[in-house]
A = this chain, B = another copy of it.
């Protein structure tokens, strides 16, 4: 059996296409072989398998605690939006109608009004807020929901773009514009900290251009991590709506001066795409590398020469000790040690703990980092501290490596020629000046075959006075790049 399994794994590891050869195929191989997802017979929908879903549970737990610490409360809105409700805000419906799935039959009857399966829930929140907001004393309302949403996509990829996906959507209402704007910024900052602290992913943050902002928003802020291959992934967005929706939905409140006013609104979301960001930021040719704070298994214990007396007993003891603080797994199966090493490397377990007869005799074990592959001999006496230190080191290594990649693959273009050369030959982000006209955005996308504005970052360098595209006076420095 050990032999048979060895063969299996040999085949399994071989079957991961090298990144340099075909990054897209590498991604597909990894999500499938690491058992994160399975394809389903439903067009564009995925099955999230236990190992993938456990990552999502850890993401939820981390984000949810951050939201609640800032006073947000969870709620649940219906998943159906009557067509008339969706149409209430004109820009919003124009943005979402083309990708809606529509329920037209319910309980064997044709519906008199068709229902959209929510692509996002601004309209539902507005309807509810209208019924519960009356006075300034009812504000702010800081709501969030965890749910599934549907956007009918033509081409889909697990986690990155699926017709149905899981996410959280925060929806808040405020007395003043200042307060709502501060909330928008605060939640972007929460996302940035979450990406850095939980996922070990650095990112560029900033404001979307008019063309790229959310349908119905006044401002959209975005967090844009760079994947290993230099392509951007929109990791989360935070929108300031002003009073656009509250006017459209006639949501009013009596303010402190007894005047009737419209409240100001925000929304913000992070989805299962963040799992795609983890895979493509940290993974390597051996498979996944999971950041320790969301890894379903943080430490895997591999007994060495496990048939020898006392090894499995000691391994079980070590597991029990570590389980109090970490997500730990012990593989005492009959599979060969080599198979186990490959298997857990492929599954991206951040830390491997090897424990054999000689280690036990010396009162030690060996910790092996999935990132650096460094082996450290540590004493079993203060194992919890050592494991904690090692996991933090993995996190820091991952972050540093991703930051290095982001730095190395960020370029500056001062002329159109430079821009085109980088777009063609150097995958990554391009910093370049922009006049503010959508025509130049469109043109840059067209001539490069897909390079789009990622954001106007909070800290703009001044690279020159003129737009890289049209040569007119520049208004902003924009970060440009291809995207998932």
Contacts and interface: CB of A to CB of B under 8 A. Distances in A.
B143 A50 contact: yes
A75 B103 contact: no
A442 to B, nearest CB: 23
Interface string A88-101: 00000000011111
A70 interface: no
Interface in A1-59: 38, 40-42, 45-50, 53-54, 56-57
Contact of A40 (B104, B105, B124, B154): B124
Given A73-B50, A78-B42, A104 B107 contact: no
A63 interface: no
Contact of A74 (B50, B77, B85, B154): B50
Contacts of A78: 40, 42, 45-47, 164
A435 interface: no
B103 A102 contact: yes
A124 B47 CA distance: 9
Contact of A38 (B97, B100, B128, B154): B128
B108 A98 contact: yes
B74 A54 contact: yes
Contacts of A38: 128, 131-132
Contact of A166 (B57, B76, B82): B76
A42 B82 CA distance: 7
A338 interface: no
A399 interface: no
Contacts of A127: 40-41
Centre residue among A53, A107, A128 by max chain B CB count within 10 A: A107
Nearest to A143: B50
B107 A105 contact: no
A104 B102 contact: yes
In the complex, the 10 A-B pairs of residues with the closest C-beta atoms, listed nearest first? A107-B152, A45-B78, A50-B73, A48-B76, A102-B105, A42-B78, A106-B152, A104-B104, A101-B106, A101-B103
15 contacts: A38-B128, A40-B78, A45-B79, A46-B78, A47-B128, A57-B74, A79-B164, A80-B101, A80-B164, A99-B107, A100-B107, A102-B103, A106-B163, A107-B154, A147-B148
Interface of A: 38, 40-42, 45-50, 53-54, 56-57, 73-82, 85, 97-108, 114-115, 117, 124, 127-128, 131-132, 143, 147-148, 150, 152-154, 163-164, 166
